[in-house]
Amino acid sequence: MMEYSYTDLSKMIDHSLLVPTMTTEDFEAGIQLAIAYDVASVCIMPYYLKRCAELLSGTGVKASTTIGFPHGGHTTEIKRAEAERAIADGCEELDMVVNISQVLSGHWDYVRKDVKAVIEVAHVAEQKVKVIFENCYLNDAQKIKLCEICSELGADWVKTSTGYGTGGATHEDLKLMREHAADHVQVKAAGGVRDLDSLIAVRELGVSRCGASRTREMLDPLRKKLGMPEINLGTIAANKNDNPNY
């Protein structure tokens, strides 16, 4: 553990604020927690993104949100419009869900055009895209095909899951995605990485980002081991922020 610096690990975390029962007070507290722990980004519901981006400005923590979330069934035109609005509201990283139905149907031209539409919007604005597969519903051949499409289109990350499907990131899937995604495409784990040991384990598989709602629980043990001061921000409605699948 000690071979990693604090920011090596804290900057892997996209702090997730996506549970539908969260209030604006929960969002405000969650954003402050993300700033205090110096994570990579806050991934927040689209309607609160603009306020989130304002609070994160100048902190080194990026503002991110979701596109086509959580089932990917929005039309491509709606996903493009969501991406445009997110960019206008200050989004720096967009987590988009593929059209899962079209993946399962084998309609790869549709899937490619759907993903391309969002990547184009983001890259024109010099922002980044994470493409969510929702691996719990897919077989390995489908996951590999998605990695190939994302590599071809220049996606910035391929991501295992939304955290709201029937399962999350597995080591087997992470190895598969790292093997079949091009070197310029990073891998993000979402769902199931809930403590420091798990975070380190996925890093060693080649993962550069991890979606997390348990940021405090993951990073407090690291801060303690490194002799860093304790962060005390009070309790953030754990029953709302903790997604059991994340």
Rounded CA-CA distance 16/56 in Å is 14
Of the candidates 49, 138, 33, the residue with the CA atom closest to the CA atom of residue 95: 49
Would you call 240 a catalytic residue per the annotation? no
**Which of 14, 89, 95, 173 is labelled catalytic?**
95
Would you call 159 a catalytic residue per the annotation? yes
* DSSP codes of every residue in 96-148: EE--HHHHHHT-HHHHHHHHHHHHHHHHHTT-EEEEE--GGG--HHHHHHHHH
How many whole angstroms from its chain centre is CA 206? 15
**Which of 79, 143, 145, 188 is labelled catalytic?**
188
Q: Is 174 exposed, middle or buried (0-12, 13-18, 19+ CB in 10 A)?
A: buried
**Which of 114, 143, 159, 173 is labelled catalytic?**
159
Would you call 188 a catalytic residue per the annotation? yes
Q: Which residues are catalytic?
A: 95, 159, 188
